[in-house]
Amino acid sequence: MLRRIVSAPVHEVAKETPLDAAPLLSEQLGRTVWLKREDLQPVFSFKLRGAYARMSRLSEEECARGVVAASAGNHAQGIAVAARRMGVRARVVMPQTTPAIKVDAVRRLGAEVIVHGDSYDAAQAKAIALCNEAGAVFIPPFDDPDVIAGQGTVATEILRQCAHSPDAVFVPVGGGGLLAGVAAAVKSLSPETKVIGVEPDGAASFAAALKAGEPVDIGPVNLFADGAAVRKAGQWTYRIAAPLVDEMIAVSIDEICAAVHDVFLDTRSVIEPAGALAVAGMKRWVEAGGPGEHLVAINSGANISFERMAHVVERAEIGAGREILFSATIPERPGAFLNFCRALGKPELTEFNYRYSSSEEAHVFVGQRMGGGRGRRDELYRRLAHAGFPVTDLTDNELARDHLRHMVGGRCPSPEREVLYRFQFPERPGALEQFLEVLAGRWSISLFHYRNHGAAYGRVLAGFLVPAADQPAFEQFLARTGYPHQAVADDAAEQFVGAPELGHGQRAVG
């Protein structure tokens, strides 16, 4: 593989990106941190390397037949640039959920775009069908030895740019093409350097492959870091990387968002969530006591839509430990609300929601900027409890972060039994209306909260009035909708949005 890597002609289209010092991250972590700036490629992603490495090996006859690829963005742009340079016809199938910024970019680069399906799997099936129909060559996004070799040139550049071998290189992982290429190069040229793969929570397909001893389909994945949202690692990538990788790390959405913020502070560049995986994993590694003084993180891409930046900023404060979320119950009597505010002190509030619940009590939801770690958070909660305001910490509660902070709390006034569910649906024009049409059935909707984060999938929190006897039929109804869903039960955030076991009152959705 090393021979393929060093002979890959990637620099005919890609550039040697800088290995930049990260002084603020270095100070924060107490290590020397370097960032490999693949976000500075002409298409703002490392994917150009692998696409061109594979296409440069096409025969004249294959070039005449043209190429087809499936991609949600970064690989597509690499294919388009490579095809334009080589004078080859390129068609790229992209899911309907792909942000317009990526579709438009591919078209501007000269490739023909075919929008099809709600997922990468559907787009890939369409691409392969096109190949079979027209005899075109399919260019895979990661599971190909030449694609892997092209990505491996990232590592040969890192080792050439370093004054001495790094102690560890952190690599973002989706299908594993970059991981396999980097691991092959690093372990051949600097075997003492650790290679550490980083995946998103909810999309850790390579770690699952290592555990199973072969690539396995992990089912529906979290799409927040869409550039790394892969259900199954590749056969080639697994075969090459499995014996060479030292460790795999999975990081949360909040950790990814905090890493985007960290990179911005050091570079004044905004990278995409998948591009920030390596920094997030490096921070987790150092916090856990991982060894090594000189650390390199690969910033793999910067293809983020403007709309998604708001969501990243919102979650970054929690991920960096600079914001806490909590709810409290306040007695409904004159002066209680003022006393609660006094007990808070003089905080820097990010959010404050108050909702009358009954003649006896009210609920408050608070977002507050606070440094100093868990100790200061616990000190605040003890102070509030001592003042007569019991607190529920919601900082790490996914329901609270996704929905509750954008709602006004309260409980359902109906005496009927209420159940809460979370849903995902493909984010495309008309998708919300279609989703509501599917849900329109015999059961009344008692709560509905949706907020567009500029991502591939929309997220909904919904409540339904379902008698206990109807629960089996209701679950069958949900299964027929085809939308991924999850019941909300025994969740600390339920006390604010309501659940049947907690009594009844008024609810308004914001």
| Residues known to be catalytic | 47, 300
> How does 371-385 read in b/e, with b if 16+ C-beta sit within 10 Å?
eeeeeebeebbeebe
User: Hey, what amino acid is at 432?
Assistant: L
The token pair that represents 502 in the structure block: 């907690």
H or E stretch covering 449: strand 444-451
Residue 19: Cβ within 10 Å count = 18
Residue 494 and residue 410: Cα distance in Å, rounded? 10
- Phi, psi (deg, nearest 5) at residue 117: 80, 170
Q: Which of 206, 201, 161 is nearest to 180 (CA)?
A: 206
DSSP type of residue 73: S
CA 281 to chain centre: 13
Sign of CA dihedral 315, 319, 324, 326: positive
Sign of CA dihedral 207, 178, 114, 55: negative
CA distances to 21, 25, 212, 266 from 31, rounded to whole Å, are: 11, 8, 34, 15
The token pair that represents 388 in the structure block: 């007569």
| Max CA separation in the chain (angstroms) | 84
Q: Which of 37, 31, 36 is nearest to 294 (CA)?
A: 31
